[in-house]
Structure 1
Amino acid sequence: MTNYGSIPTSSHPSPPIDLEYISRAKHRIKAGLATRRPWKTMFDLQSMNLPHGFFDAISRIKTNLVYFRANYAVVVLLILFLSLLYHPTSLLVLAVLVVFWIFLYFLRDEPLVVFGHQIDDRTVMICLSVLTIGMLLFTHATANILGAVLTALVLVVIHAAVRRSDNLYLGEDAAAVTEASGLTSYP
């Protein structure tokens, strides 16, 4: 017996899309990227000038590295991505590592706890950076990776030295991190 006009259905129903999960992920992405400072603030031309001396440059670098750390991580990853466009294997590895960066660094709203020990953001960033560079070196794109990382580090340090830090206002959490890590400078 045939049923004309009926729509055939599959015996295996497709899994429903979990809208709550997508909504939570979207909210976490927005909240995670909230630690990133506005690009307009980072590249404010009124706040750019040469430091008055070596110690002024060091002080600016220390303050700006703490204040713009999420922005600087994005810049380094972007430069690394652009350098790997002609190395598809390395690019695939970088894509997987970017997922790690997103979930372990940018989207965390709670401290990371491993084996009962709380791990701070700076340690997570250092570990992810070492993991990223190490994994990419295994893809035989060493010259591109080292060139990109060195270029990114030079650009970050130049920006951090040239960007005045006297008009930056660290929140209580960032000020505590700066003081605890020894990145404060006293005149």
Structure 2
Amino acid sequence: MLPSTEMLANIKEASQTVISTRRPWRVFLDLFALTLPSSISEATTRLAHNVTYFLFNYALILLLIFLLTLFRHPLPLLIFLLLSAAWYFLYFSRDDLPLAILPLAFLTVVALFVTAAWLNLLLALLSEAVVVFLHGVLRSTEDLVGDDQDSPYGNMLLGDTPASGAYVPV
């Protein structure tokens, strides 16, 4: 069963949306914005907001950690650098929907298992989870409040819902 063209277009649009949300590294790495949360509620709110706001930065860190875990293994590192370049040039940099996604996805999965890099990917995912959790909980969101559309709760709390100020049938 092959994925439909519409589904592939949605995947590409979602990935381009994530790429368009990249944030400056100086904002991401601002040491003065690191504080301890006062409660568990505040910690979960910070985590949700920071994951939404810094999603692209976290994805780049995941890729970097994965490539660093492959540093002692030159052949898998070279294979995944070539695969990353292939993904960029054949899928992400094109406006039309390329048919290269299925072969690229297949090659990526095969490369993960043939080079035994799936263990490195698992290690990178676990390391990234720790990084995201620590940064997400410790990074205050007070200076990020200006971006209302990036609220982890959407626009529900902003009063932009059609039902704001009116009765809605239950």
TM range (shorter): 0.5 to 0.7
Q: State the TM-score, normalizing by the size of structure 1.
A: 0.56
* Matches for 1:1-187 after TM superposition, within 5 Å: 35-99=21-85, 100=87, 135-168=111-144, 169-170=146-147, 172=149, 174-175=150-151, 179=154
Contact 2:91–2:97 (8 Å) recurs in 1 = no
Q: Which runs of 5+ in 1 are unaligned?
A: 1-31, 115-127
- AA aligned to 1:179 is G
Q: State the TM-score, normalizing by the size of structure 2.
A: 0.61
Q: Matched residue of 2:82: which SS?
A: helix
Q: How far does residue 55 in structure 1 lie from its aligned partner after superposition?
A: 1.8
Contact 2:67–2:77 (8 Å) recurs in 1 = yes
Q: Matched residue of 1:179: which SS?
A: coil
Q: Matched residue of 1:164: which SS?
A: coil
- Name which one, 1 or 2, has greater alpha-carbon Rg: 1
The sequence identity of aligned pairs, in percent, is 33
Q: Which runs of 5+ in 2 are unaligned?
A: 1-17, 99-103, 158-170
Q: Matched residue of 1:57: which SS?
A: helix
Contact 1:93–1:136 (8 Å) recurs in 2 = no
- 1:171–1:113 CA distance, 2 compared to 1 (3 A): farther
Q: How far does residue 56 in structure 1 lie from its aligned partner after superposition?
A: 1.2
Question: Matched residue pairs, number?
Answer: 133
Q: How far does residue 34 in structure 1 lie from its aligned partner after superposition?
A: 6.4
- 1:139–1:178 CA distance, 2 compared to 1 (3 A): farther
- 1:141–1:60 CA distance, 2 compared to 1 (3 A): same
Structure 1 Cα separation of the partners of residues 109 and 138 of structure 2: 27
The structure richer in helix per residue is: 2
- AA aligned to 2:130 is V
Alpha-carbon RMSD across the aligned residues, in angstroms, is: 3.8
Structure 2 Cα separation of the partners of residues 141 and 178 of structure 1: 36
